Chains A and B, each alone.
Chain A
Amino acid sequence: MSEKSGVANMGLEGIMLMSLVMTFIVDYVTGNPWIALLAAMGTAGVIGLVFAFFALRVRMDQIALGLAIYLFGLGFSFIVFNTAYPSGLFPNYVSLPPIYSGWGTVPYLGTIFLKLDVMAYVSIALVVLTAIFLNRTSLGLRVRAVGENPKAADNMGVNVNKVRLFAILFGALMFGVAGSYFAGNFVPGFQTNIIAGRGFIVLAMIYFANWKPYPTLFAALSFNLVYALQNEYISIAGSTVASVSTLFNMLPYVFLLALIPVFGRKARAPKFLLKPYRKG
């Protein structure tokens, strides 16, 4: 989304890490996962503001800036966690409730949907909302215009940097949600660099999805399908293939790479991605 407006945020891993730690701490203190989620989004929003200031006002190189924020987040998140829990022990975590609805009575499907918690549904809803927003509202149109041709957008009376600020903030809040989600439901416990490149994978997915919300959902699902398949295969095959299991770990990524010649030709980045805009 923020890339649509011509801004790439490479710092998303750092933001995810910071909001993840925030989730842990607030969740532990308050015992309420929803407040923790809000705190995580707040943290992410603040970092998003910092990013926006440097990217838009100072017109820094966005990739370099993103890496800087990533490094900072990587280091600082660990320090914060370590200071809060010097023993390195994982605090009690109250996770978001799964949805218990009528699904339970439906055979097969029920077991699948029962396992998904609120966030899985929320994220799908967010994809739909983002798509509607980008394609159907006038503000969404402006976001796209700013990414494709800031000059023209400016002439039409659109405040380029304001729109980009909005997009960066929205993106940062989403990273916050993602980081927070990681905290409880994906990896119970904190390790250094817990996100381990997953944030960067997202950048690749957006690329394959041609910067469109629905294909992004599809890309995310198919990547994780391959990921889950290889995990499953390793656990089934057991120790006999222990030494080649690392080879299978590469599969999801190779899968993505193999798609490039297929989809890459069609992929078209927003024209002014990475290009700071100066009025006049």
Chain B
Amino acid sequence: MLEDTQGLRWLRATAYNVLAVGLGILAGLAVVAYAGGNVGVALSSLFLDPITSSGGIQQIFVLFVMFYSMGLGIGLALKAGLWNIGTQGQLLAGMVMVFVVYLYLAFLPWPVLYVAMILGAAIGGLLWIAVPTILRVKFGANEIVVTILLNVVAINFGFYMLSGPIKSPGTALGFPITTVLPAKFQIPNIVGSVPITYAVPATIAIGIVLYFLVERTPFRVKANTVGESPETARYAGISIPRVMTLTMLAAGALAGLAGATYLMGYRYELDIGSFSTNYGLVAIIVALVGRKHMLGIGIAAFFFAYIAYGAEAMALAVNVPTYVVFAMEGVMMIGILMSAYFERRGAI
């Protein structure tokens, strides 16, 4: 008999997660077959397209940065027992703020404005999550309900901003789109033409800092206690409102930052297309798959960035709607939740 060491347990968990993902891919292929697509072509484009095209590599790292940043926020809040379903709204608030700062604080000199845009995005996300945080801490309102409601509000608010205050003056009448950010306001690539920007190491650095803050300091105990047993926390003299407020606000700011990396490192302009994404939802899966672990979330984020792009490429290659991605992610998520169950029972 092998001894039940930590390393072995980790291996088992990984094996199970891989299995879950395999299930999701199988489900995706089943859908492809059902819709009349070529399964072989689908499989090869799912795995190979992301690494064989430079567009694929760029997308993977853009998505990785966003998923990691948002996933960190969701994981943080989860540690304190709070569900932040409103990541999508905070992301949009961050994106809008980038342009609000860019247009309305344009008098600032270049490096200051550059930093202000990034900070503005974080503040946008933070303000957006401040509402559910206050309602939760002061009024005891369910944060799930409020964050979901605010997602819808964010989309409408974004439309409003796009069609007026931050609309590009140069576009055709009524077409809601912003101006394109000039090159000096874009996040540059690290090495020449390799499409990997400085946002990647920056996000990893944030993850590592959070890892030490959250996993290696007394804060870890505090957050976990608040999350798992508020009564114990109260008894131990931990300020529950403070832990909740801190984790929630940090979650909002991280989601806002994700918005900045998307706009300043990839899209450079904001239009309606950016509102109809589903990145916030995927980030929730990423946080769960990463087991709320600040470094684990990074691995999960990279993986889902790969799958998200691969699945989209697959859908295009076999002419199946890209919505197949959602179905696959749903199945994967159930599989991963299953693996957590087997682990608890020690049945592997």
Q: Contact check: which of B151, B163, B288 meets A243 at CB < 8 Å?
A: B163
User: A264 interface residue, CB < 8 Å from B?
Assistant: yes
Chain A's closest residue to B344 (CB) is A59
- Within the complex, the shortest CB–CB distance from B214 to chain A, in Å, comes to 20
User: A35 interface residue, CB < 8 Å from B?
Assistant: no
Q: Are B327 and A79 in contact (CB under 8 A)?
A: yes
Could you tell me the distance between the alpha carbons of A244 and B159 in the complex, rounded to whole angstroms? 9
User: A257 interface residue, CB < 8 Å from B?
Assistant: yes
Q: Which of A32-87 contact B (CB under 8 A)?
A: 54, 58-61, 63-65, 67-76, 78-79, 82-83
Chain A's closest residue to B332 (CB) is A68
Q: Are B337 and A260 in contact (CB under 8 A)?
A: no
Q: Are A75 and B152 in contact (CB under 8 A)?
A: no
User: Are A257 and B149 also in contact (CB < 8 A) when A63-B83, A246-B159, A264-B139 are?
Assistant: yes
User: B51 interface residue, CB < 8 Å from A?
Assistant: no
Q: Contact check: which of B156, B320, B324 meets A249 at CB < 8 Å?
A: B156
| Interface residue tally on B, bucketed by range | 35 or more
Q: Mark A229-250, 1 if CB is under 8 A from B, else 0.
A: 0000000000000111011011
Could you tell me the distance between the alpha carbons of A207 and B135 in the complex, rounded to whole angstroms? 13
Give every chain A residue within 8 A of B43 (Cβ-Cβ): none
Q: Contact check: which of A75, A83, A254 meets B327 at CB < 8 Å?
A: A75
Give every chain B residue within 8 A of A217 (Cβ-Cβ): none
User: A97 interface residue, CB < 8 Å from B?
Assistant: no
Q: Mark B319-333, 1 if CB is under 8 A from A, else 0.
A: 011011111111101
User: B213 interface residue, CB < 8 Å from A?
Assistant: no
Give every chain A residue within 8 A of B341 (Cβ-Cβ): 58-60
Q: Are B156 and A246 in contact (CB under 8 A)?
A: yes
Q: Are A257 and B146 in contact (CB under 8 A)?
A: yes
Could you tell me the distance between the alpha carbons of A257 and B145 in the complex, rounded to whole angstroms? 9
Prevailing SS type, chain A contact patch = helix
Q: Are A75 and B325 in contact (CB under 8 A)?
A: yes
Could you tell me the distance between the alpha carbons of A68 and B331 in the complex, rounded to whole angstroms? 7
Q: Are B288 and A71 in contact (CB under 8 A)?
A: no
Give every chain A residue within 8 A of B327 (Cβ-Cβ): 71-72, 74-76, 79
Give every chain A residue within 8 A of B146 (Cβ-Cβ): 204, 257, 260
Give every chain A residue within 8 A of B235 (Cβ-Cβ): none
Binds A, one of B31-39, B177-185, B239-247: B31-39
- Within the complex, the shortest CB–CB distance from A252 to chain B, in Å, comes to 9
User: A134 interface residue, CB < 8 Å from B?
Assistant: no
User: A107 interface residue, CB < 8 Å from B?
Assistant: no
Q: Are B323 and A79 in contact (CB under 8 A)?
A: yes
Q: Contact check: which of A74, A83, A207 meets B36 at CB < 8 Å?
A: A83
User: B142 interface residue, CB < 8 Å from A?
Assistant: yes
User: B303 interface residue, CB < 8 Å from A?
Assistant: no
Give every chain A residue within 8 A of B333 (Cβ-Cβ): 64, 67-68, 71
User: A256 interface residue, CB < 8 Å from B?
Assistant: yes
User: B338 interface residue, CB < 8 Å from A?
Assistant: yes
Give every chain B residue within 8 A of A269 (Cβ-Cβ): 142
Q: Are A197 and B151 in contact (CB under 8 A)?
A: yes
User: Are A247 and B149 also in contact (CB < 8 A) when A64-B337, A72-B327, A79-B321 are?
Assistant: no
Give every chain A residue within 8 A of B324 (Cβ-Cβ): 75, 79
The 9 closest A-B pairs by CB, nearest first: A72-B330, A75-B326, A75-B327, A71-B330, A68-B333, A246-B159, A78-B323, A246-B160, A249-B156
Instruction: Return 29 A-B CB contacts under 8 Å, by A number.
Output: A14-B330, A54-B334, A54-B338, A60-B334, A63-B85, A67-B85, A67-B281, A67-B285, A68-B285, A68-B331, A68-B334, A68-B337, A72-B326, A72-B327, A73-B330, A75-B31, A75-B327, A76-B330, A82-B35, A197-B151, A200-B149, A243-B164, A244-B164, A249-B156, A254-B153, A256-B149, A257-B149, A260-B135, A260-B146
